[in-house]
Amino acid sequence: MRTLEKVGESASPRAASAAGTIAANPRFQAVPVVLSDFERIEVTPPRAQDELKLIQAHFMTRAQGAARGLTHASEREELGRFLHERMSRYGASSEHIARRQVSVLESRFVTPDPHSEVEGVRRYGDLRNSTGEALDERMNLFEEIACGVFARVYRDKAANPPDDIVHVSCSGYVSPSPVQTFLSQRSWLNVGVTHSYHMGCYGAFPAIRTALGLVGASHVSLPRRKRRVDLVHTEFLSLHFDLLSDEPDNFVTSTLFADGFIKYTASPQAEFEQRGGSGLKILTIDEYILPESLPEMTLRPGPLQFDMSLSKRVPFMIRDSIAEFVTAICEQIGLDFEREKSSMVFAIHPGGPAILNQIRSRLGIDESQIALSRRVLYEHGNMASATAPHIWQHITESPEIPRGAKVLSMAFGPGLTVIGAVFEKI
């Protein structure tokens, strides 16, 4: 996808010639936009997956025991054995996810009790609210964490502000938003704000499309050109773990998803080249909603948390549509996918191991070509919209991926939406 910049000084759509006549066909040139300057923020240290599964089952036991009014230790122990067995059966394996950032465990929602007679409480603590926090309290905590992330991203108070900030999240919304609160406190009052919310795992792609439009429109239609649009993802997904459901998909999602916080910059290529470094030039972006797929993945606010449902059909529905999608998106920029795929790099959102397996098999690509997607899932878990930017950062920093390499990135979310972009590493 490209934006257009008029050659010359005139901002008019038609330029006056030296003889005073109007030029009918003014020349245009492309204004490529580059993603760069990735920075991950770690709010709390990641914990091992096997330990997190034990902790999750412990707090589910506390919450469900309280909800059912269980008073006898034997009843709570029986419930605990049942939930630990289901966690072992349905929870995501440490073979695929080694560790995750689960920041809610170090929040005021969890109260330590080292003197408790209950071993699990002694080790992991108790819940401030026995059956889980209400949604408004969760949003208050989201606001605090997100504001802290912005303060860390822009910790150099002497630095120049960006022209715009795009805030990306599917895990929390308050108004004024965390980015507005931060800008007000910093007195960066002329920075444009765009909220790119509630799109789940594919949320990074509409956000970069927005940044591309902000940069491009300023070079075509506006008197002041934008030199830098920052994108900041604040995915506090552990805020929404459901402690009261014992359905299989709840064990899957609560052990798959993790917190993720990352910032990066979109800027015209000329500005990027002045700074130096490695980046990803945006070549095209496209998306497609799969037919008859609306109920297969949902994300809706509930009374306590955002409730997510994920059908077992999702990996197979993506598999059945993905070849046509990647062929079409590559054709937009003159790439023959089948001819070029062996030399391409793939940044596929790792919604789970099954999605990666199905796509790799359907596209006929090597395991090595999706290694970075596997790595991000293994080291961080599924961080919703923040996941793809983590993969992009690895690509920009990897000395093994040469400049000029074409990168095909894809993600998936409610709709079912399949969305992708082709980049060039520069």
Please compute the mean of the pLDDT values over residues 119-142 and round it to a whole number: 94
Query: Do the domains spanning 35-42+135-275 and 280-425 agree at the CATH topology level?
Result: yes
pLDDT at 351 (0 to 100): 87
pLDDT at 308 (0 to 100): 84
pLDDT at 3 (0 to 100): 39
Token duo for residue 206? 């509409």
**β pairing state of 192-197 and 164-169:** parallel
What percentage of the chain reaches a pLDDT higher than 90? 80
Among 77, 60, 176, 182, smallest CA distance to 127 is for 60
What percentage of the chain reaches a pLDDT higher than 70? 93
d(CA 172, CA 240): 10
pLDDT at 307 (0 to 100): 86
Bigger pLDDT: 280 vs 221: 280
Give CA separation, 83 vs 54, 55, 302, 315, in Å: 10, 11, 22, 26
Helices 387-397 + 371-380 axis angle, to 10: 120
pLDDT at 25 (0 to 100): 45
Q: What long-range pairs does 135-141 form, CB within 8 A, spacing at least 24?
A: 135/301, 135/302, 135/303, 135/304, 135/305, 137/109, 138/172, 138/239, 138/240, 138/304, 138/305, 139/172, 139/173, 139/174, 140/174, 141/104, 141/107, 141/108, 141/109, 141/236, 141/239
Please compute the mean of the pLDDT values over residues 365-387 and round it to a whole number: 96
Q: What residue ranges do the domains of the chain occupy?
A: 35-42+135-275, 47-127, 280-425
pLDDT band at 225 (very low <50, low <70, confident <90, very high): very high
Pick the CATH number of 35-42+135-275 from 3.40.47.10, 1.10.1740.10, 3.40.50.720, 1.10.3720.10: 3.40.47.10
Among 270, 264, 284, 286, smallest CA distance to 426 is for 270
Q: What is the pLDDT of residues 314-362, one digit of tens each?
A: 888 898 899 999 999 999 999 999 999 999 999 999 988 889 999 999 9
Q: What is the pLDDT of residues 227-270, one digit of tens each?
A: 999 999 999 999 999 999 999 999 999 999 999 999 999 999 99
pLDDT band at 168 (very low <50, low <70, confident <90, very high): very high
Q: What is the CATH number that goes with domain 280-425?
A: 3.40.47.10
Among 72, 83, 101, 110, smallest CA distance to 262 is for 101
Bigger pLDDT: 149 vs 299: 149
Token duo for residue 325? 């999608």
- CA 312 remoteness from chain centre: 21
pLDDT at 303 (0 to 100): 86
d(CA 27, CA 7): 6
pLDDT band at 29 (very low <50, low <70, confident <90, very high): low
List of residues 6+ apart from 94 with CB closer than 8 A = 48, 49, 50
Q: Is the pLDDT of residue 6 over 50?
A: no
Is the whole model's pTM more than 0.75, yes or no? yes
Judged on CB neighbours under 10 Å (0-12, 13-18, 19+), 390 is buried
d(CA 232, CA 212): 15
Phi-psi region of 14 (alpha: psi -120 to 50; beta: other; left: phi over 0): beta
Token duo for residue 346? 């793939």
Q: What is the pLDDT of residues 289-298, one digit of tens each?
A: 998 888 888 8
The three state secondary structure string of 359-395 is HHHHHCCCHHHHHHHHHHHHHHCECHHHHHHHHHHHH
pLDDT at 10 (0 to 100): 37
pLDDT at 117 (0 to 100): 85
pLDDT at 309 (0 to 100): 83
Q: What is the pLDDT of residues 381-390, one digit of tens each?
A: 999 999 999 9
Phi-psi region of 386 (alpha: psi -120 to 50; beta: other; left: phi over 0): alpha
d(CA 109, CA 91): 23
pLDDT at 8 (0 to 100): 36
Bigger pLDDT: 21 vs 339: 339
Q: Is the pLDDT of residue 22 over 90?
A: no
Please compute the mean of the pLDDT values over residues 164-179 and round it to a whole number: 97
pLDDT band at 313 (very low <50, low <70, confident <90, very high): confident
Q: Is the pLDDT of residue 5 over 80?
A: no
Average pLDDT, the chain: 91
pLDDT at 28 (0 to 100): 52
